Every structure is written in structure tokens, then in C-alpha cells.
Amino acid sequence: TIPLTGSISGGASTGIWNASVVGGSFIPSNSAISPEYNSPKDYIGDIVFTLTSTDPAGPCSSVNESFTVAFNDKATADAGVYGPICQNGTLQLNGIIGGAASTSSWASSAGGTFSDSNSLNSSYTPAAGFTGTIELTLTTDNPPGPCNAATDKVIIEIVATPTINIINAIIICNNESVGTITFSGTNATNYSWTNSNPTIGLAASGTGDINSFIASNSTANPIIATITITPINTSNGTSCPGPAET
């Protein structure tokens, strides 16, 4: 949208604006002396504007004045949309630029490393140990003409690596009840576990705490089962495992 400033004097007090291309609009109307003009969608090029006075009373004719406005292509930038990544992970970027832009660069609000900050498809690795959110900004070059560089920002979530507290070994007799085994740790939203020996009366795998079960040993000798627990931190569809404990 651009403002137009007209002036009519002498024998006329009103006039009409016209544009050399179709598809645009004058606001509030083309009979306003100083309207705004909305160009046709995505129009690039010159438009000639003409203000013509109404035909005054008497022998004098209407008059007009014309001038040209150049509509330049503007730069566009799209940083993309990304799901969370795990702590100490790497994000593949897929930026897009268009219009008058020919080059671009990435920047981060919290450090980290770009494989190539001038590549739309750079990879990005946050600083070691960082968790939380980071704002990445894609900025185009400043194109020729009056239009400015374009920028777009995207927020990236970095999910903390979870841990699990050590679980003590359990020694129990055949047909005795093993109480519920409750897991705890930091930054864990769930736990997955595997059992190396399901003959003890416990399933081969599961998630969450281990419910109470009856221990089983059909042999005359002690048997051993190794339970391996992996803490998991899930946020917005991304699940990040932590170091397992047995």
C-alpha cells in the first residue's frame, strides 16, 4: 500500500485517479484527492498514476498530471518448522528464501554451531549440555532497491537427557511376592525396561514401574534375571532416552 497525495485548484475542486494496470484498488476510492493505493497481488514493475480534474465550468478543459511508481520485488524468508531435538543432538534445517533475496544466513540466540551458517540446509548443534529453547533467525541479504532484507524466526526446543536412580538388587525365594518396583530419576517422563530371564515370572519387557509379581524358579539352583531400565523424556512428540541402569 502506498499513499498518494494529490492537489486540485483553480476552476476544479475534484478529480479522479487512474492506474495504468488493472487489479489494484484506491482507498477509500479513486475520487479521493489523497487516497491510498493497493497494488495488484504480487505485482512487480512500474505503474503510472494519473490524477485528472473534473471538467470545470466555462470554456476551460480538465487537466491531468501523471507520474510513475516502481514496485520492487521484496525479499522473503521462511525459517521452517521443527520438532524438539534431544540434548546434545543436531537439527537439520530447511530454510527457504524467495523474491528479491539471493543469499541468507542463520543466527542463534544461544550460541551453538552451524555446519554452514550461509546454507539454507545447514545443520545446527546447540552448545554442549544446553536444554530449553533457542530462537533461530534466518535473514536474507539486502536486495537492490528500496526494499529491506527479510527475516524469519523459529523456536527450537532442546529436550533434557533423563537419568534414573540406581535400583538395588533383589534376592527372593520361589513363590514369594516381589513388591512394586518404582523408578525415579531426573527429567524422565517414563521408563522402559527389559528382562533377560522371563522364567522368573516377569514379562520380557515393559514400560513404567514394574508391578508386583510372584517370583518363580522351577529349578533346584538359583537363577538370575537382569532388568535393564532406560529413562525416557518425551516432549511434543520427541522421545529422548537417557543412560540405562541394570
**Chain segment 12-43, per-residue pLDDT in tens:** 889 999 999 999 999 999 999 999 999 999 89
The answer on pLDDT for 85 being more than 90 is yes
Per-residue HEC secondary structure of the chain comes to CEECCCCCCCCCCCEEEEECCCCCEEECCCCCCCCEEECCCCCCEEEEEEEEECCCCCCCCCCEEEEEEEECCCEEEECCCCCCEECCCCEECCCEEEECCCCEEEEECCCCEECCCCCCCCEEECCCCCCEEEEEEEEECCCCCCCCCCEEEEEEEEECCCEECCCCCCCCCCCCEECCECCCEECCCEEEEEECCHHHCCCCEEECCECCEECCCCCCCCCCCCEEEEEEEEECCEEEECCCEC
Return the C-alpha cell found at 209: 514401574
Question: What's the rounded mean pLDDT across residues 128-138?
Answer: 98
The span from the CA of 237 to the CA of 19, in Å, is 52
The span from the CA of 128 to the CA of 80, in Å, is 23
Alpha-carbon dihedral sign for residues 37, 43, 45, 48: negative
**Chain segment 219-244, per-residue pLDDT in tens:** 999 999 999 999 999 999 999 999 99
Higher per-residue confidence, 107 vs 100: 107
- What dihedral angle (degrees, nearest 10) is formed by the CA atoms of 170, 173, 175, 180? -20
* pLDDT of 54: 87
**Chain segment 33-79, per-residue pLDDT in tens:** 999 999 999 899 999 999 999 877 767 888 999 999 999 888 999 99
User: Phi/psi of residue 181, each to 5°?
Assistant: -100, 110
The span from the CA of 196 to the CA of 223, in Å, is 11
The answer on pLDDT for 120 being more than 70 is yes
Q: Has this prediction a pTM greater than 0.75? A: yes
**Chain segment 189-207, per-residue pLDDT in tens:** 999 999 999 999 999 999 9
Percent of the chain with pLDDT over 70: 99
The answer on pLDDT for 130 being more than 70 is yes
Other beta carbons less than 10 A from residue 16's beta carbon: 16
* pLDDT of 1: 86
| CA-to-CA dists, residue 118 to 5, 83, 91, 151, 220, angstroms | 42, 22, 15, 14, 69
pLDDT band at 9 (very low <50, low <70, confident <90, very high): confident
The span from the CA of 190 to the CA of 192, in Å, is 7
